[in-house]
Structure 1
C-alpha cells in the first residue's frame, strides 16, 4: 500500500515535467514543418487552466478582428496534436483563425460571441475525435456551423477524423453512441435530433482520416492548402463600375485560353489612362477561382525603380502565393523559391504597368518552370516590352471608349447616374467629346465637376479646349519622360504639326537634324504614343496631342515667343509681326491670313533672331521680301501659294525638303 502511494506521488511530481518536455518537443517539430513560424502569435494554454470553474458566467472577450476560419474540436483529445499544428500553419499564412477550446471555456455567457465568430468565418475545420461527442459545446457549435453553411453556400466545412472511424461520426455509433446515451438524460429530443443531423451531414463529407501512424504535419499542410485556395478565390479586387469593359474582358479571357493546359501570357497595352489596369483587375476577378493561387501586383514600374526592386517584387509574389514572408538575400534566391515552391501550384499572376526594366527571366526565372495551366497577364504602355517576353505572348491593344460608354462613365462620376440631367446634357456631351474616349480624363473631370454649378462647367470646358487637366497630363507624361531626347523632339513635332501627315517628309528633316527618325518613330509606336494609319500617316490620341502641346506651353507660360513650337495662328502672327522671334523657336505653322486684303505683311525683319527655326509652314501671299539671308537653320519649308503668285526666296543651304501647295480656287 505504501508502494502504491509512493508511485502516485512520483507520477504526480513527474507529470508536469513530462508535459513541459512534450510541449517543447512538439513545438520544435511544428516549427520545422511551418518554416519559421512566428511563435509569438499565441501561447499554448496550460493544462492547469482547464480545471477552471465551469459554472462561471464570465463573458470572455474574443480576439480582435473578423475571422476567416473557425476551428471546432475537443480540447483534451487534440489540443497538442493536429489542432495546434494546423492552427500554427494557418496563423503563419496570415489567415485569421478562431481556435475555440471547449474545455477552457468559462461558462454560457460567451456563447453569443462564439456564434458571432462562426457567422464571420468562411471556412469551418471540424476535428472529430473519440470523445468529441461528449462535449455539448462541440455539438452546439457544429449545429450552428451546419445551419450557417446551409444559408451561405460560399462557406465550406472541412472535416478531420482524428483517430476515429468516420462511420461512427456519421451514424453515431461506437463512442458517439455512448456519448449520446449520456446526453439523452439531460437534453430534449429536438436538441438531440439537431446534433445527430449535424454529425450525419458533416460526417458524410470528404475529409481527412488521421490514423496513429500518419504524419500530422503533412495532413495539416494539405488542409492549409485547401483553406488558402478557397480564401484566395474570394479575394476579389476592387474596381470602378465596369462601364464599357465587357468586350475587353471577353477578349482577354479568350486569349488566356483557360481550357488549354498550355502556359499562356497575355499582354495588355495602350496609352496611359486607357483602362489597362481596370481590365486586368476585372479579368482577375472573373478567372481567379479557376486557379490554386493568385497574385496581382500593381505599379511594377515604380516598384522596380526602388532599391532592391527585383527582390521587393519577388517577395510580393511569393507572399501572395505562399502566404508567408520569406527572407530573400538576392534575386537568384528569389528565383529559386519561385521555381521550387510556387511552381507546384496552378497560378494566376498579374503584373500591372511594366516597362523596360522588367525582365521576366531575371525576376521569375524560366517560364517553363511554372506548372502547366498557369497564366500571366502583364500590362504595359510599351508593346515591345510585351512582345519580347516570349514568342507566344498574346497581345491586346486597348482602344478608346465609344461615345455612348464615355458619356455613361462621365455621368457616373459627375452625377452618380448613367445619364446627364437635361440642363447639363449639352455641356456633358461637349466635355465627353474633348476627352476623346480616354477613361482617365472622363473620371478626373467628372469627379471635379460633381455638384458644381453650370458656370464652373462652362469655364472648365473652355479650359479643357486649351489646356488639358493637370492630373491627366501627369499620368500621360510618364511615358514621355522615359523617352530619349531625340524621340521627345520627334513626338513634340508630331503633336504640334504632323498629325494626319505623311511620315516620310518630316523624316528627312529629322534625319538631317540628327534625330534618327526610323529608330525613334518605332520607339514612339512601341510605347503607344503614336500610330501609323493607312501605312504612312501619323495618328495620335487627342489627349496625347494635348499633353504634348502642354509640355511646349509649360516651356514658358507667359511668353509664347520663348517656346520651341508655335502652332497657333494668333500667337504666330503676333510673334512675327511684332518681331519677337527668339532662338528657342524650332517650328512655326500659320494656316490663316490675318487680313486677306493685305498680303505681304511679313517681311524679312520679322524673321530676325530665328536662328534655330527648322520648320516653317506658311502661305506665300503673306510673304513679300527676299529671305535668302535669313532663317539659316531652316530644313523644311511648306508653302501654300496661288497659281499666279510669286514664290518667296529662302536660303537653300540647309533645306532638305520643300513642299509646295496650290491654294484652292487658283
Structure 2
C-alpha cells in the first residue's frame, strides 16, 4: 500500500520499494494486490507531466543512470493505472481512513477463516501439525487431523490455514464435507467450490461440471502447475478424498492438503511412514495427527474468558472455577469413553442422546444421595475438593449437550 506523497519521487528507497511491490504483484498470479494512496498529488504528477515528480526523476538519472531510472519510471506508470484513493476527493483524513480499512478488511476476509472470539490457541498442537506440514519442504504433503467430535479439529485447521495461506499461490477451505456430500449433487458442488477457489472465480455457479469424473479431470488440470493449500474439513469417506484431492501426483511441488475427520479409517490405508517414494519429493500417504483434549490451564483460561472476560479467575471465584474445570474435565473423559462405547451420541445437529441405562444410572445415584428430596440436590459445595460421583453424573446428563457444542465451537 504505497502512499504517494509530494516528496515520494525524490526518495530512492521509496522507488526501490515500489518496484519490488510491482514485481511481487506481477508474479503472484493475482494473489497480491497494490492499493495506492495519493496524498496531495494527482494523476498528472505521477505521469511526470508536472515538475513535482519530473524534476526528481531528472536528478535520479544524473545520480543512478538512465537504465535504473527507467525501471523506477515503469513501476510508477503501472501503479498509476491502478484504482486508488486520493485525499483530494475526501474532506479530511477520517472518511478516507475508514474507507481504506473497510476495503482492506473485505479483501482479507475473502481469504481469512473466522474463528471464535474467545479462542485459546494450543500452541503445542499447532506446532506439532505445522511440523508435519513442513511448509519449507519442496514436496507434496497430505496431513490428516483426527479426533472425536467437538475436540477442536476444525478450529485447529482454521488457525493453521490463516497462518499459512499467504505462502501459497492458491488456497481453498472446504467446510462440512461430510454434510454436503450427503446431498444428491454434493460431490459436484464441492468440486465446483474447490475449482472456484483455485481459478479465482467469483462464483462457483459459473463453473460447469457435468459429473464427478469431469470434475476430477478439471481439478487435476487446475492443481498441476500451482503451489496450493487445501483444507478438507470433516471428511467421512475415502471416496470424498479421491474425488476432491486424489493423489499427490495431482499437485505441484510445495502443495499441502489438510484433512480433518472423526473417522480414522479415512486416513489409515495411506498413512505415510516417510519412506522414499517412487516419485521424488512426493508422499503418496497421509501423515496423521490425533488432536488431544485441552490441558487444565487452557480449559481454565477458556472458562474465565467466557465467565469473567479475562484470562484468569477473580480471587473470590478462584477455587470454585478450578473445581468446575476438574468436574467438567472428568465428565469429558467419561463422555469420550461413553461415545466410544456408543452409550451416548452427539449428532451433527448437536442433538444429544444417551442409552437408557446411562440415564437410569444418573437418576439412581442422585436419588441415592438424597432420597427424600432428590430434586433439591445442591451439587458441589466449597468444601468439596474432588467431584463426587453424583455431581459428575449430573453434569454429564445435564451439561454435556451444551458443553460439547461449545467445546466444538471454541476448543483448540
**Superposed pair shares fold, TM > 0.5:** yes
Taking a change above 3 Å as real, the CA distance of residues 369 and 244 of structure 1, as seen in their structure-2 partners, is: closer
Q: Find the counterpart in structure 1 of residue 34 from structure 2.
A: none
Q: Find the counterpart in structure 2 of residue 629 from structure 1.
A: none
Q: What is the rounded CA distance, in whole Å, between the counterparts of 1:398 and 1:285 in structure 2?
A: 18
Taking a change above 3 Å as real, the CA distance of residues 549 and 249 of structure 1, as seen in their structure-2 partners, is: closer
After superposition, what is the alpha-carbon deviation per residue over 1:442-493, rounded to whole angstroms, capped at 9, x for unaligned?
A: xxxxxxxxxxxxxxxxxxxxxxxxxx9xxxx9xx9xx96xxxxxx8xx532x
Taking a change above 3 Å as real, the CA distance of residues 341 and 549 of structure 1, as seen in their structure-2 partners, is: closer
Taking a change above 3 Å as real, the CA distance of residues 551 and 292 of structure 1, as seen in their structure-2 partners, is: same
Q: What is the rounded CA distance, in whole Å, between the counterparts of 2:156 and 2:308 in structure 1?
A: 23
Q: Find the counterpart in structure 1 of residue 265 from structure 2.
A: 384
| 1:638-657 equivalent positions in 2, closer than 5 A | none
Q: 1:248 aligns with which of 110, 125, 131?
A: 125
Q: What is the rounded CA distance, in whole Å, between the counterparts of 1:549 and 1:235 in structure 2?
A: 33
Task: Kindly indicate whether residue 97 of structure 2 is the aligned counterpart of residue 204 of structure 1.
Answer: no
Does the CA contact (< 8 Å) of 2:132 and 2:143 recur in 1? yes
Give the C-alpha shift of residue 358 in structure 1.
Answer: 4.5
Task: Kindly indicate whether residue 13 of structure 2 is the aligned counterpart of residue 157 of structure 1.
Answer: no
Give the C-alpha shift of residue 283 in structure 1.
Answer: 1.4
Describe the SS at the equivalent of 2:249. helix
Task: Kindly indicate whether residue 144 of structure 2 is the aligned counterpart of residue 267 of structure 1.
Answer: yes
After superposition, what is the alpha-carbon deviation per residue over 1:417-455, rounded to whole angstroms, capped at 9, x for unaligned?
A: 1011122223322222233189xx9xxxxxxxxxxxxxx
Taking a change above 3 Å as real, the CA distance of residues 341 and 569 of structure 1, as seen in their structure-2 partners, is: closer
Q: Find the counterpart in structure 2 of residue 277 from structure 1.
A: 154
Q: Find the counterpart in structure 1 of residue 313 from structure 2.
A: 420
Does the CA contact (< 8 Å) of 1:331 and 1:363 recur in 2? no
Task: Provide the aligned C-alpha RMSD in A.
Answer: 4.8
TM-score if structure 1 supplies the norm length?
A: 0.37
Q: What is the rounded CA distance, in whole Å, between the counterparts of 1:384 and 1:407 in structure 2?
A: 33
Does the CA contact (< 8 Å) of 1:406 and 1:437 recur in 2? no
Task: Kindly indicate whether residue 342 of structure 2 is the aligned counterpart of residue 491 of structure 1.
Answer: yes
Q: Find the counterpart in structure 2 of residue 28 from structure 1.
A: none
Task: Kindly indicate whether residue 271 of structure 2 is the aligned counterpart of residue 395 of structure 1.
Answer: no
Taking a change above 3 Å as real, the CA distance of residues 238 and 566 of structure 1, as seen in their structure-2 partners, is: closer
Give the C-alpha shift of residue 194 in structure 1.
Answer: 5.4
Give the C-alpha shift of residue 320 in structure 1.
Answer: 1.0
Taking a change above 3 Å as real, the CA distance of residues 359 and 191 of structure 1, as seen in their structure-2 partners, is: closer
Give the C-alpha shift of residue 142 in structure 1.
Answer: 12
Task: Kindly indicate whether residue 354 of structure 2 is the aligned counterpart of residue 551 of structure 1.
Answer: yes
TM-score if structure 2 supplies the norm length?
A: 0.57
Describe the SS at the equivalent of 2:142. strand
Does the CA contact (< 8 Å) of 1:263 and 1:375 recur in 2? yes
Does the CA contact (< 8 Å) of 1:350 and 1:376 recur in 2? yes
Q: What is the rounded CA distance, in whole Å, between the counterparts of 2:112 and 2:330 in structure 1?
A: 27
Give the C-alpha shift of residue 191 in structure 1.
Answer: 5.3
Describe the SS at the equivalent of 1:379. strand
Describe the SS at the equivalent of 1:329. coil
Q: What is the rounded CA distance, in whole Å, between the counterparts of 2:353 and 2:310 in structure 1?
A: 32
Q: What is the rounded CA distance, in whole Å, between the counterparts of 2:361 and 2:308 in structure 1?
A: 38
Q: What is the rounded CA distance, in whole Å, between the counterparts of 2:221 and 2:309 in structure 1?
A: 49
Taking a change above 3 Å as real, the CA distance of residues 434 and 370 of structure 1, as seen in their structure-2 partners, is: same
**Greater relative contact order (Cα < 8 A, sep 6+):** 2
Q: Find the counterpart in structure 2 of residue 236 from structure 1.
A: 112
Q: Find the counterpart in structure 1 of residue 172 from structure 2.
A: 295
Q: What is the rounded CA distance, in whole Å, between the counterparts of 1:201 and 1:234 in structure 2?
A: 37
Does the CA contact (< 8 Å) of 2:141 and 2:248 recur in 1? no
| 1:38-437 equivalent positions in 2, closer than 5 A | 156-157=21-22, 183=49, 190=52, 192-193=54-55, 203-204=71-72, 235-240=111-116, 242-324=119-201, 325=204, 326-356=207-237, 358-389=239-270, 391=272, 392-436=285-329
Count of aligned pairs: 292
Taking a change above 3 Å as real, the CA distance of residues 415 and 143 of structure 1, as seen in their structure-2 partners, is: same
Q: What is the rounded CA distance, in whole Å, between the counterparts of 1:276 and 1:327 in structure 2?
A: 32
Give the C-alpha shift of residue 362 in structure 1.
Answer: 2.7
Does the CA contact (< 8 Å) of 2:146 and 2:153 recur in 1? yes
Describe the SS at the equivalent of 2:354. helix
Does the CA contact (< 8 Å) of 1:233 and 1:289 recur in 2? no
Q: What is the rounded CA distance, in whole Å, between the counterparts of 1:424 and 1:491 in structure 2?
A: 36
Taking a change above 3 Å as real, the CA distance of residues 272 and 570 of structure 1, as seen in their structure-2 partners, is: closer
Taking a change above 3 Å as real, the CA distance of residues 551 and 331 of structure 1, as seen in their structure-2 partners, is: same
Give the C-alpha shift of residue 551 in structure 1.
Answer: 1.2
Taking a change above 3 Å as real, the CA distance of residues 333 and 421 of structure 1, as seen in their structure-2 partners, is: same
After superposition, what is the alpha-carbon deviation per residue over 1:577-624, rounded to whole angstroms, capped at 9, x for unaligned?
A: xxxxxxxxxxxxxxx9xxxxxxxxxxxxxxxxxxxxxxxxxxxxxxxx
Taking a change above 3 Å as real, the CA distance of residues 569 and 352 of structure 1, as seen in their structure-2 partners, is: same
Q: What is the rounded CA distance, in whole Å, between the counterparts of 1:322 and 1:141 in structure 2?
A: 39
Taking a change above 3 Å as real, the CA distance of residues 233 and 373 of structure 1, as seen in their structure-2 partners, is: farther
Describe the SS at the equivalent of 1:267. strand
After superposition, what is the alpha-carbon deviation per residue over 1:216-264, rounded to whole angstroms, capped at 9, x for unaligned?
A: xxxxxxxxxxxxxxx7899332323552411111111111122322221
Does the CA contact (< 8 Å) of 1:142 and 1:195 recur in 2? no
Give the C-alpha shift of residue 370 in structure 1.
Answer: 1.2
